Amino acid sequence: MTNITDIAKKAGVSRTTVSRVLNNHPYVKPEKRDVVLQTIEDLNYVPNLNAINLSRGRTNIIGVIIPRINHPYFSSLIEGIGEQCHKYDYSLLVYQSHNNLSRELLFFDMLKNKQIDGIIIGSCTLQATALNEMSHFGNIVSCEYSDTSSIAQVFVKHEEGIHMAVDHLRDRGHQKIGLCIGNSRSGVGMSRKKAFFDLQNKHRFIWRDDWYYKDQYTIEDGFQIARNMLGQQERPTALVVGSDQVAAGILYELREQGVSVPGEFAIVGFDNQPISKIAELTTIYQPVQKVGNIAVDLLQKLALQKDVPHVTQLDLQLIKRNTT
Amino acid sequence: MTNITDIAKKAGVSRTTVSRVLNNHPYVKPEKRDVVLQTIEDLNYVPNLNAINLSRGRTNIIGVIIPRINHPYFSSLIEGIGEQCHKYDYSLLVYQSHNNLSRELLFFDMLKNKQIDGIIIGSCTLQATALNEMSHFGNIVSCEYSDTSSIAQVFVKHEEGIHMAVDHLRDRGHQKIGLCIGNSRSGVGMSRKKAFFDLQNKHRFIWRDDWYYKDQYTIEDGFQIARNMLGQQERPTALVVGSDQVAAGILYELREQGVSVPGEFAIVGFDNQPISKIAELTTIYQPVQKVGNIAVDLLQKLALQKDVPHVTQLDLQLIKRNTT
DNA sequence: GTGAAAGCGCTAACAT
DNA sequence: ATGTTAGCGCTTTCAC
């Protein structure tokens, strides 16, 4: 393996000069620069990033933690993060935690280990205190609401999304509205739940505890929810569902069972995923990619020691289709 | 920052001993080991991975290159890769190329740079010669057919998938069958195209060049294809579509325009993605996650200098639903 | 403009 | 069972 010393020898200069050429430093005589570049070419020299990383004390790698990648919300988020990483010349390390606590901790070790320069939390179940402690080891940005003082956050206005959905259903006359969310312990889940029940109290809707579904992620979960609902003594007339995929499953199974939507039952999804177009699902659009973009921007600013807003929130949009 | 030397001093041993404790080497007296571990605890010592990487000459990071993450096929693939990485203690670096050649080359530099130990090609447009050359710099496994001698490959039997789809349509009486695929320059695209036209020739189906659609990825692309087809003088009676998402779009728009499916027109998709369940799409299931799993297994074996099969192929399965 | 030399933090061959 | 020592390949002060 040819290294910087080989180049220096062959080119008849010092390693320092080679390093300068490599890093586009000024103060290198053009002729020498050319010789060095030529030698690099001749010897097929490739710098060793590990050495550079060790020497510089950073890696230009950003880590992102999510429960799992194969979910439209997280795919979009990662896509947004990935694009912005490319812009700043960061590499992107993706870590799937399955919301498993010990896995999450393992991931944060990479920050301590200096293997990654910063962390973007797509979703994570660690407590605020733990996160605050982690933030001593490097820059962290969260893409979900997080009850911490030390971590910059960017997310969509989840409360507003719930408001939009509930208000829309209320406008259409619904008074018995159920809620279905994904991970109930995540920042997103908690905000949504809180916003929903605040509205419940405010409007004094009718309510039954079995109208609340949590930890639902897939189409099949949706099938199950529909069947479950049909078995209930008293049923809601509408459902706010935190994921288009689950909403589509519910919709499908309800119609399968002869329930007319939106005639007898209304559904609002979240995300405006491709499936919502096919299912003609009323949904709340969330600029997820944009969240990813901004997360990287924040991390970059933090890396440059600049100040960043503690919380950045993005607007949502109701897309009315055929299920309300 | 506390390092191994600090620990050694404080614990009254040599750096080597500390290193041995850290790496669970035998031949360390239990008492010393305990002192070292205690000191590590006391000083909040965390090993620096960059130093380890430099010293060991590897990083335990695997890179995977895909056009974009936000596509069900690639999400599944990454999920499968990610899980297996976790098993072998690899980290996963995800690189979105957008099929852009210069981006692809940039990615392979990371292998040369020693920043990653191995590469999994999810999809990539580099020529065989280029890939063969790259393989000198580290282990590479491809998840698509690749015309190279030096790269281990694992993929589903794309030809068989096309066969299944076409035979199924033929069984149902279709003689005018169109084809719609994604990236036509990728390994998958090329295999599918070839298999399809081989069958065309064999069965002497009726054919028109405008029954071939390429570079189609989204639901909206599907809408467009449907409209385009309806405008054609002579239309096919069935379409084999390389992606469920596109197939769902076509289906939706056709029905929107009053075409009865499967009455007047038949559609077969690929992947058995969630959307195919909702759309009741006949589709070809591909064990994509499994492909990802195996890719990592192969890389791991290569890392251990073991022999691996040059080509591994996985079986597909026709899932008959309501569009054929 | 250029180079010598001292790190960066860890591993591993070798000696004891 | 433990320590000495020489790297791993690059960056960066500092002196000239």
**Tens-place pLDDT, residues B42-69:** 899 999 999 999 999 999 999 999 999 9
d(CA B324, CA B322): 6
* pLDDT value, residue B145: 87
Half-sphere exposure of B302 (CA within 13 A, CB side): 25
> B65 with B126: CB under 8 angstroms?
no
Q: What is the mean pLDDT of chain B?
A: 94
Provide mean pLDDT across the span B5-17.
Answer: 91
Could you tell me the distance in Å between the CA of residue B24 and the C1' of nucleotide D5? 22
Nucleotide lying nearest to A8, CA to C1' measure: C3
- CATH code of domain A58-156+288-314: 3.40.50.2300
Q: Which residue from B minimizes the CA distance to A276?
A: B275
A250 to each of A169, A206, A247, B78, B163, how far by Cα in Å?
A: 17, 21, 5, 27, 34
Provide mean pLDDT across the span A298-315.
Answer: 95
Could you tell me how many residues make up chain B? 324
pLDDT above 90 coverage of chain B, percent? 87
| CA–centroid distance for A162 within its chain | 19
Name beta bridge partners: B285: B317
B47 to each of A110, B19, B60, how far by Cα in Å?
A: 10, 10, 15
Could you tell me the distance in Å between the CA of residue B36 and the C1' of nucleotide C16? 22
Q: Which residue has the higher pLDDT, A238 or B27?
A: A238
* pLDDT value, residue B73: 92
Is a pLDDT exceeding 90 seen at residue A151? yes
Residue A26: which pLDDT band, with cuts at 50, 70 and 90?
confident
Min Cα separation A320/chain B (Å): 18
Is a pLDDT exceeding 90 seen at residue B91? yes
* Domain covering B4-47 assigned CATH 3.40.1390.10 in the classification: no
Largest CA distance in chain A: 88
pLDDT digits (tens, 9 = 90+) for A60-84: 999 999 999 999 999 999 999 999 9
* pLDDT value, residue B216: 96
For residue B92, which residues of chain A lie inside 8 Å, CB to CB?
A: 93-95
pLDDT above 90 coverage of chain A, percent? 88
A301 touches strand C (CB under 7 A): no
pLDDT digits (tens, 9 = 90+) for B297-312: 999 999 998 999 999 9
Inspect the interface and report whether the beta carbons of A69 and B82 lie closer than 8 Å. Answer: yes
Residue A59: which pLDDT band, with cuts at 50, 70 and 90?
very high
For residue B93, which residues of chain A lie inside 8 Å, CB to CB?
A: 61, 91-94
Pull the structure tokens for residue B28: 């360390």
Residue B187: which pLDDT band, with cuts at 50, 70 and 90?
confident
Is a pLDDT exceeding 90 seen at residue A203? yes
d(CA B182, CA B244): 11
For residue B286, which residues of chain A lie inside 8 Å, CB to CB?
A: none
What is the domain partition of chain A in residue ranges?
4-47, 58-156+288-314, 158-285
Q: Which residue from A minimizes the CA distance to B56?
A: A50
pLDDT above 70 coverage of chain B, percent? 100
Q: What is the mean pLDDT of chain A?
A: 94
Min Cα separation B91/chain A (Å): 7
In the sheet where B61-66 sits, what is the strand order? A311-314, A152-156, A139-142, A118-121, A61-66, A91-96, B91-96, B61-66, B118-121, B139-142, B152-156, B311-314
pTM for the whole structure? 0.93
Please give, one letter per residue, the 3-state secondary structure of chain B. CCCHHHHHHHHCCCHHHHHHHHCCCCCCCHHHHHHHHHHHHHCCCCCCHHHHHHHHCCCCEEEEEECCCCCHHHHHHHHHHHHHHHHHCCEEEEEECCCCHHHHHHHHHHHHCCCCCEEEECCCCCCHHHHHHHHHHCEEEECCCCCCCCCEEEEECHHHHHHHHHHHHHHCCCCCEEEECCCCCCHHHHHHHHHHHHHHHHHCCCCCHHHEECCCCCHHHHHHHHHHHHCCCCCCCEEEECCHHHHHHHHHHHHHCCCCCCCCCEEEEECCCHHHHHCCCEEEECCHHHHHHHHHHHHHHHHCCCCCCCEEEECCEEECCCCC
* Domain covering B158-285 assigned CATH 3.30.1330.40 in the classification: no
Is a pLDDT exceeding 90 seen at residue B295? yes
Inspect the interface and report whether the beta carbons of A54 and B48 lie closer than 8 Å. Answer: yes
Residue B188: which pLDDT band, with cuts at 50, 70 and 90?
confident
A54 touches strand C (CB under 7 A): yes
B232 to each of B29, B211, B235, B241, how far by Cα in Å?
A: 82, 9, 6, 18
The DSSP secondary-structure symbol of A209 reads G
Of B24-28, B149-153, B199-203, the poorest mean pLDDT is in B24-28
Q: How far apart are the first and last CA of chain B?
A: 66
In chain B, positions 44-73 with C-beta closer than 7 Å to nucleic chain D are 51, 54-55, 57
Inspect the interface and report whether the beta carbons of B68 and A61 lie closer than 8 Å. Answer: no
Cis peptide before A262 (omega within 30 of 0): yes
Q: Tell me if A4-47 shares its fold with A58-156+288-314.
A: no
For residue B48, which residues of chain A lie inside 8 Å, CB to CB?
A: 54, 113-114
d(CA A93, CA B90): 11
Pull the structure tokens for residue B296: 């990592």
pLDDT digits (tens, 9 = 90+) for A229-257: 999 999 999 999 999 999 999 999 999 99
Is a pLDDT exceeding 90 seen at residue A186? no
d(CA A223, CA A256): 10
Residue A165: which pLDDT band, with cuts at 50, 70 and 90?
very high
For residue A254, which residues of chain B lie inside 8 Å, CB to CB?
A: none
Name the residue with the least CA to C1' distance from nucleotide D12.
A16
Which residue is listed with tokens 């519910």? Answer: A250
* pLDDT value, residue B28: 87
Could you tell me the distance in Å between the CA of residue B14 and the C1' of nucleotide D4? 9
Could you tell me the distance in Å between the CA of residue A272 and the C1' of nucleotide D7? 56
In chain A, positions 24-63 with C-beta closer than 7 Å to nucleic chain D are 45, 47-48, 51-52, 54-56
B26 touches strand D (CB under 7 A): yes
Provide mean pLDDT across the span A96-115.
Answer: 94
Provide mean pLDDT across the span A279-305.
Answer: 96
Torsion of the alpha carbons at A226, A227, A230 and A233, rounded to the nearest 10: -120
B44 touches strand C (CB under 7 A): no
Torsion of the alpha carbons at B151, B155, B158 and B164, rounded to the nearest 10: 150
What is the pairing mode between strands A282-285 and A317-319? antiparallel
The dihedral built from the CA positions of residue B156, B157, B162 and B168, taken in this order, carries a sign that is negative
